Structure 1
Amino acid sequence: METPAPTTHKLIAEHDFVFAKFWFYPNFLVGEFAEGADVSKENSLGPIRYVKRYYGRTTPFVYISNRKNSYSMDPMGYKEIVDMFPNLMGMAIVSENKYRRMIATLEKMFIKKPIGVFHKLDEAYVWAIKNIEEQDQ
């Protein structure tokens, strides 16, 4: 999994959890799950600890889901994870696959945060920073 980094933001850390890889930036987090991964709240505890370590409960951040691969996810567990982070300002979902983008729009029913759906990572980076700046005012 090779997710390109935005050129204007400093990478804080990168963690590979076998089923997923995460890139941590000052105010956004990029996640990319492995092909065929079965994502649940239970197997997400490792990444959750790192998110809490880097952003705590006060540093505003946006989660960018880079959906290059096909994987399964428990939507109720997903909502529980999102609810653990009061400082999560929104989510950006990136996929070039039309079907995956359609599924992303369904997630808006479960997650009560701003959600943007994009074709390219660069678009998501811009949206994430703008979203944080707007909510910071």
Structure 2
Amino acid sequence: MKLIETNYKSSVLKEAITPFGHIYFFNNYIVSEAKEGVNLDWNFFQETLKIITNYYGTNRKISLISNRVNNYSVVPTIWLDFYRKNPNNILKSMSFVTYTKLAYSNARLESSFFNCKTECFTNLEEAINWTENLTPFISKQI
């Protein structure tokens, strides 16, 4: 179910529309929904990281919920590049919301490349509840 079809839409603080899909900003997390058929490559990660840091700043750890309502491709090992090129990891947690068995299996594989808390869910509400119940955000001191 798309985020805009839920009761959470009224809590969205900002929406960013990119060539890759939608990014919804909340107080303590982000929900992303990629467009049908896109290939999430390094350009996607760079653009998304820029949008996130412009909104939250660079000193805040964030939780990301990937609401996989559409079919698209992502190479899981791209996360190795993400961590190598971004040593000041901004990810506090990553959760995947999947709607098919294949998407769930792919998310499980992808989660093994993360250097943060990860979890897979079959509905958006469970992912949001899990994310909201993580320990509070702590800004890094510079």
**TM-score (normalizing by structure 2):** 0.81
> Which residue does the alignment assign to 1:50?
51
**Cα distance in 1, alignment partners of residues 42 and 56 from structure 2:** 19
Cα deviation, residue 62, structure 1 = 0.6
1:71-127: CA deviations, max 9, x gaps?
Answer: 111223233335635231110100121111111111232112111111111101111
**Cα distance in 2, alignment partners of residues 99 and 31 from structure 1:** 19
Cα deviation, residue 6, structure 1 = 5.2
> Which residue does the alignment assign to 1:3?
3
> Which residue does the alignment assign to 1:79?
80
Q: Which moved more, 1:51-60 or 1:90-99?
A: 51-60
1:58–1:86: 8 Å Cα contact kept in structure 2? no
1:34-56: CA deviations, max 9, x gaps?
Answer: 11101101243322211111222
Letter in 1 for 2:128: Y
Question: How many pairs are equivalent?
Answer: 135
Unaligned ranges ≥5, structure 1: none
1:40–1:78: 8 Å Cα contact kept in structure 2? no
1:92–1:115: 8 Å Cα contact kept in structure 2? yes
> Which residue does the alignment assign to 1:120?
123
Overall identity of the aligned pairs, in % = 24
Cα deviation, residue 19, structure 1 = 2.1
Unaligned ranges ≥5, structure 2: none
2:76–2:113: 8 Å Cα contact kept in structure 1? yes
RMSD: 2.4
**Cα distance in 2, alignment partners of residues 87 and 6 from structure 1:** 27
Letter in 1 for 2:28: N
Correspondence 1:21 to 2:16: no
Letter in 2 for 1:130: N
